[in-house]
Amino acid sequence: MKRLCLPLCFLIIAIALTGCKKKEGALFYESSRKGTAEAPVKEVPKDILATQQAFTNVVKTVTPSVVNISTVSKKKLVQPFFEFSPFFDDFFGGRQRPRYRRETSLGSGFIINKEGFILTNDHVVKDAESIQVKLSNDKVYSGKVVGEDPKTDLAIIKINAREELPVAVLGDSDKLQVGQWAIAIGNPFGLDRTVTVGVVSATGRANMGIETYEDFIQTDASINPGNSGGPLLNIYGEVIGINTAIVAAGQGIGFAIPINMAKQVVGPLIKKGSVTRGWLGVSIQPVTDAVAQSFGLNKTRGALISDVMAGSPAEKAGIRQGDIITAFAGKEIKDARQLQLVVADTPVGQKIEVEIFRDGKPQKLSVTLASSESAPTARQKSVEPQAGWFGLTVEELPHNMRQRGLVGVLVTSVDPNGTAADVGIQQGDIITSVNQKKISGLAEYGQAMKDAEKKGSVALLIRRGDSSIYFAFRIK
70: annotated active-site residue: no
172 and 285: one domain? no
342 and 422: one domain? no
What pLDDT was estimated at residue 231? Answer: 93
Q: Which residues contact 91 (CB under 8 A, 6 or more apart)?
A: none
245 and 311: one domain? no
pLDDT string in tens for the chain (476-residue length): 545 455 555 555 555 555 555 556 667 766 565 554 466 777 788 888 888 888 899 989 999 999 999 888 765 554 544 444 444 455 445 555 555 566 677 889 999 999 999 999 998 888 888 899 999 888 999 999 999 998 888 999 999 998 899 999 999 998 999 999 999 998 766 677 788 898 998 887 765 555 566 678 888 888 877 788 999 999 999 999 999 876 655 566 888 899 998 998 899 999 989 888 888 888 888 888 888 888 888 888 898 988 888 888 988 999 998 899 999 988 888 888 888 888 887 888 888 899 999 988 899 999 988 887 766 654 433 333 333 345 778 888 877 787 778 888 888 888 777 767 777 788 888 998 888 888 888 878 877 887 777 777 778 888 888 788 888 766 65
Q: How far apart are CA 182 and CA 255, in angstroms?
A: 12
Q: How far apart are CA 229 and CA 125, in angstroms?
A: 10
113 and 240: one domain? yes
CA torsion sign, 10 to 16 to 19 to 24? negative
Position 41 in a domain: no
Cα–Cα separations (whole angstroms), residue 216 to 185, 253, 258, 421? 17, 12, 6, 33
Position 14 in a domain: no
Number of domains composing the chain: 3
185 and 288: one domain? no
- 405: domain CATH number is 2.30.42.10
Mark which of 374, 409, 430 sits at the end of a domain.
374
Within its chain, how far is the Cα of 267 from the centroid? 21
Catalytic residue among 153, 220, 307, 429: 153
Catalytic residue among 228, 306, 457, 468: 228
Q: Which residues contact 270 (CB under 8 A, 6 or more apart)?
A: 117, 146, 147, 156
Position 385 in a domain: no
68 and 141: one domain? yes
Position 204 in a domain: yes
251 and 283: one domain? no
Position 108 in a domain: yes
Catalytic residue among 65, 122, 123, 312: 123
398 and 357: one domain? no
Q: How far apart are CA 153 and CA 134, in angstroms?
A: 22
The DSSP bridge partners found for residue 430 are 410, 463
Position 35 in a domain: no
- 160: domain CATH number is 2.40.10.120
189 and 293: one domain? no
Mark which of 235, 254, 275 sits at the end of a domain.
275
Position 387 in a domain: no
223 and 352: one domain? no
What pLDDT was estimated at residue 50? Answer: 87
Mark which of 237, 255, 275 sits at the end of a domain.
275
Q: How far apart are CA 124 and CA 231, in angstroms?
A: 14
Q: How far apart are CA 98 and CA 83, in angstroms?
A: 11
286 and 345: one domain? yes
Q: How far apart are CA 451 and CA 442, in angstroms?
A: 14
153: annotated active-site residue: yes
Domain extent for 282: 278-374
369 and 396: one domain? no
| CB neighbourhood size of 192 (10 A) | 16
Position 17 in a domain: no
